[in-house]
A and B are shown apart, each in its own frame.
Chain A
Amino acid sequence: MYQYDQYDQKMVDTRVEEFRDQVKRRLAGDLTEDQFKPLRLMNGLYLQLHAYMLRVAVPYGTLSSKQMRMLAHIARKYDRDYGHFTTRQNIQYNWIKLEDAPDILADLASVEMHAIQTSGNCIRNISSDQFAGATADEIADPRPWAEILRQWSSFHPEFSYLPRKFKFAVIASDTDRAAMRLHDIGIQLVHNDAGELGAKFFVGGGMGRTPMIAPEIRDFVPADELISYAEACLRVYNRYGRRDNKYKARIKILVHELGQEEYTRQVEEEFAHMKQLGLNPPVEELARITQYFQDPPFDKQASVDIDLSDPDFALWVDQNISAHKQPGYAIATISLKPRGGIPGDASSAQIDLMADLAEQYSFDELRVTHSQNIVLPHVKKSDLYAIWQRLDEAGLAPANLDLITDSIACPGLDYCSLANARSIPLAQKISERFADLGRQRELGELKLKISGCINACGHHHAGHIGILGVDRKGTENYQLLLGGSGAEDASLAKITGPGFTEDGVIDAIETVTDLYLEQREEGERFIDTYRRVGMARFKEAIYG
């Protein structure tokens, strides 16, 4: 994986000192909270309902064991012994003291990490495919491109006060594991007719109040023009994105209001101008970065057999293991969705254990997924049983990847000042109601996503089943949505009808899953049956 050189290190070290100075000025009263707010937000520090929350960037979701251990250390030393992995492939800590924040950033900098631009109206952490570099279905590793973008977007002077936050995702496979088209800019690496690698740009996707799937605006941007093209997209947005209404300020609204053609025309015009300005790193820079993402030294002789005689282990293998490009190896996803647990939470002991396993069995690498799980990307099939046993002892072996209890939930009313309703307790109750693994497996792939308000941090629009917390005359109420997808078959979920109480919405989920079981045809997932049968049938079952 990528390693900082002296320049990268100097940038994050300088940031730590700068922030230390800003915190000092704040604590001394030289900065008002109003003046301090944009500064702390640029460093990922939010003021939540009860305390400060610090969000740490995990660029494109990739971590070394050493970095993972540092995350455990921070949880132990500065927080309440746990961290929360997020849908942006980041980690956040919910109980941080302002005066500790500079020391935390210094600890992070010591392992080449930071919290730069994890909040604020700027370019956020670049996300990517959690299986990058390990899956057979990609045409290249997307992470060197994401790293080029990370460096370019860090402290970008022109784009630090955009109309609204701005999110990139980069993938290199037709299978979309990163919800690429639900980003402000989604990039898919592709080959052109000459066989060169380049970037296909999708602009204007997003969730929030007005969810949109990003349209493609350019089929190929060459490697040595990536930055000028991205700058052109951002400049048009920075100049013309709406600033009068925070809920209409994302780029999706601009693209929608101008129309895809007009937005594209303006970008192309700006691009023609920017191409001349020498904004792009030379191809040698991409080559330099790509060096860091070479395949680890796989054992070509590794056995392809897995002994499945332990039935619980066999279930885990069936559910949580994905195909690796190297025979004899596998991609193992560690589910952070135990029965009755908080989706995405891990204790410092669990984080340390995952770090140990990565060091011992996965070439020192881990990934964070946007569905709030952890991946060991390169493990020998023959080591899986040993790994599983240690995970199982630590409560980290739920065999529920992509099943109904592998839900995404935003922090909701337990932490978030914007929430209408609680998300986490609902996710916990659903995981209790559907705890029977046999039943979950019978239901098959089912993406359940819960947001505590219309801002959609829990991606409810992209859920096969989505739940949205609303405020109904001062009481928490939940709307049910069906038919969304963040994958390559991207679609937006639709609201079924009137909302429910907490228990009511769980009953409604049972009703729709029962209907699915009754209606499904051979090989159909829940989403397939829903698409074929249509909303009306489901509505009828729910509301009678």
Chain B
Amino acid sequence: MGNTIRFRDDEVHEEPAVALDSFLDQSNATAVRIEAGEDARVLLPYLDRLSLIEIDFPVFGDGRGYSAAQILRESGYTGELRASGDVLLDQCAHMRRCGFDAFSPDSPINPQLMEEAISRYEHVYQATSDQRKPIWSIRHG
């Protein structure tokens, strides 16, 4: 496990994330980890009490985690959303746009390079859960 880079000001969550099955069995966990094939929507009833959701990317080309993140944010989740696994520098900007605010890549990423990659594009074309104003919205006030 490499470094974790966070884009949050709150305290790092100490409790380890548990697998989805165990989370659903034990009612008091506050951190959960979901695998690429698991349905993020099963977490919707529990969002209030969760402070960390970790989404795993088994290989960088498996993009299911982007939709999982969007679904959680669209449903009002405000806790830490962490991308783990095969997370590469050039994917981080898209992940940020989908609501991830922490990264725990298998191979460490230089935080400064990550910062550059994430802030490279001044504008965006789509409305997503990062709440950036899309270009069409700037055009039409």
Closest to B69 in A: A158
A154 touches B61 (CB 8 A): no
B140 touches A285 (CB 8 A): yes
Q: Choose among A18, A39, A154, A238 the residue that contacts B66 (Cβ–Cβ < 8 A).
A: A238
**Given A158-B67, A279-B127; A285-B136 close (CB under 8 Å):** yes
The answer to the question of A155 belonging to the interface, with a C-beta cut-off of 8 Å to chain B, is yes
Q: What 1/0 flags go to A121-146 for Cβ under 8 Å of B?
A: 10000000000000000000000000
> Which residues of chain A have a CB within 8 Å of any CB of chain B?
5, 7-8, 10-11, 14, 17-18, 22, 35, 38-39, 121, 151-152, 154-163, 235, 238-239, 243, 273, 277-279, 281-282, 284-285, 288
A14 to B122, CA, bound (A): 9
Chain A residues, Cβ within 8 Å of B93:
157
Task: Count contacts on B: residues with CB < 8 A to the other chain.
Answer: 35
A437, chain B: closest CB distance, angstroms: 48
Query: B residues 116-139 with Cβ under 8 Å of A?
Result: 120-128, 134-139
A282 touches B136 (CB 8 A): yes
The answer to the question of B98 belonging to the interface, with a C-beta cut-off of 8 Å to chain A, is yes
A284 touches B140 (CB 8 A): yes
A11, chain B: closest CB distance, angstroms: 7
The answer to the question of B48 belonging to the interface, with a C-beta cut-off of 8 Å to chain A, is no
Q: Choose among A14, A151, A161, A288 the residue that contacts B125 (Cβ–Cβ < 8 A).
A: A151
**17 further interface pairs, Cβ-Cβ under 8 Å (given A151-B125, A243-B64):** A7-B139, A8-B135, A11-B135, A14-B120, A35-B88, A38-B60, A121-B63, A152-B125, A155-B125, A158-B70, A158-B94, A161-B60, A161-B62, A239-B68, A279-B127, A281-B137, A282-B140
B126 touches A279 (CB 8 A): yes
The answer to the question of B115 belonging to the interface, with a C-beta cut-off of 8 Å to chain A, is no
The answer to the question of B74 belonging to the interface, with a C-beta cut-off of 8 Å to chain A, is yes
Chain A residues, Cβ within 8 Å of B123:
7, 10-11
**Given A14-B122, A35-B88, A161-B60; A7-B127 close (CB under 8 Å):** no
B124, chain A: closest CB distance, angstroms: 7
Closest to A234 in B: B67
Chain B residues, Cβ within 8 Å of A243:
62, 64
A281 touches B136 (CB 8 A): yes
Chain B residues, Cβ within 8 Å of A282:
136, 140
A239 to B72, CA, bound (A): 14
Chain B residues, Cβ within 8 Å of A156:
125-126
A457, chain B: closest CB distance, angstroms: 21
The answer to the question of B33 belonging to the interface, with a C-beta cut-off of 8 Å to chain A, is no
Chain B residues, Cβ within 8 Å of A151:
125, 135-136
A8 to B122, CA, bound (A): 11
**Given A154-B125, A158-B128, A281-B136; A239-B74 close (CB under 8 Å):** no
A155 touches B67 (CB 8 A): no
A239 touches B64 (CB 8 A): yes
Listed from nearest, the 5 A-B pairs whose CB atoms lie closest are A161-B63, A157-B97, A157-B94, A281-B136, A7-B135
B66 touches A11 (CB 8 A): no
Chain B residues, Cβ within 8 Å of A239:
39, 64, 67-68
A157 touches B136 (CB 8 A): no
Chain A residues, Cβ within 8 Å of B70:
158, 235
Counting chain B CB atoms within 10 Å of each CB, the highest count among A17, A22, A121, A239 belongs to A239
A314 to B138, CA, bound (A): 53
B60 touches A152 (CB 8 A): no
Closest to A231 in B: B126
Specify the main secondary structure of chain A where it touches its partner.
helix
> Which residues of chain B have a CB within 8 Å of any CB of chain A?
39, 60-64, 66-68, 70, 74, 88, 90-91, 93-95, 97-98, 120-128, 134-140
**Given A157-B94, A235-B67, A277-B74; A10-B122 close (CB under 8 Å):** yes
Chain A residues, Cβ within 8 Å of B98:
157-158
27 residue pairs of the A-B complex, CB under 8 angstroms, read A5-B139, A7-B123, A11-B123, A11-B135, A17-B120, A38-B90, A39-B90, A154-B125, A155-B94, A155-B124, A155-B126, A156-B125, A157-B128, A158-B128, A159-B63, A159-B66, A161-B62, A161-B63, A161-B66, A235-B67, A238-B66, A238-B67, A243-B62, A281-B134, A281-B140, A285-B139, A285-B140
Chain A residues, Cβ within 8 Å of B88:
35
B139 touches A160 (CB 8 A): no
Closest to B138 in A: A7
Chain B residues, Cβ within 8 Å of A159:
63, 66
A319 to B138, CA, bound (A): 48
B66 touches A157 (CB 8 A): yes
Closest to B39 in A: A239
Chain A residues, Cβ within 8 Å of B94:
155, 157-158, 160
Closest to A281 in B: B136
A167 to B73, CA, bound (A): 28
A22 touches B90 (CB 8 A): yes
A278 touches B127 (CB 8 A): yes
Chain B residues, Cβ within 8 Å of A39:
90
A167 to B78, CA, bound (A): 34
B85, chain A: closest CB distance, angstroms: 13
B64 touches A11 (CB 8 A): no
Chain A residues, Cβ within 8 Å of B128:
157-158
A11 touches B63 (CB 8 A): no
B116, chain A: closest CB distance, angstroms: 9
A238 touches B121 (CB 8 A): no
Counting chain A CB atoms within 10 Å of each CB, the highest count among B60, B123, B125 belongs to B125
B60 touches A157 (CB 8 A): no
Chain A residues, Cβ within 8 Å of B121:
11, 14, 155
A14 to B119, CA, bound (A): 11
B2, chain A: closest CB distance, angstroms: 15
B139 touches A11 (CB 8 A): no
A504 to B139, CA, bound (A): 60
B72, chain A: closest CB distance, angstroms: 12
A155 to B98, CA, bound (A): 12
A156 to B95, CA, bound (A): 11
Closest to B61 in A: A161
Chain B residues, Cβ within 8 Å of A154:
125
A284 to B136, CA, bound (A): 9
A235 to B74, CA, bound (A): 13
A234, chain B: closest CB distance, angstroms: 9
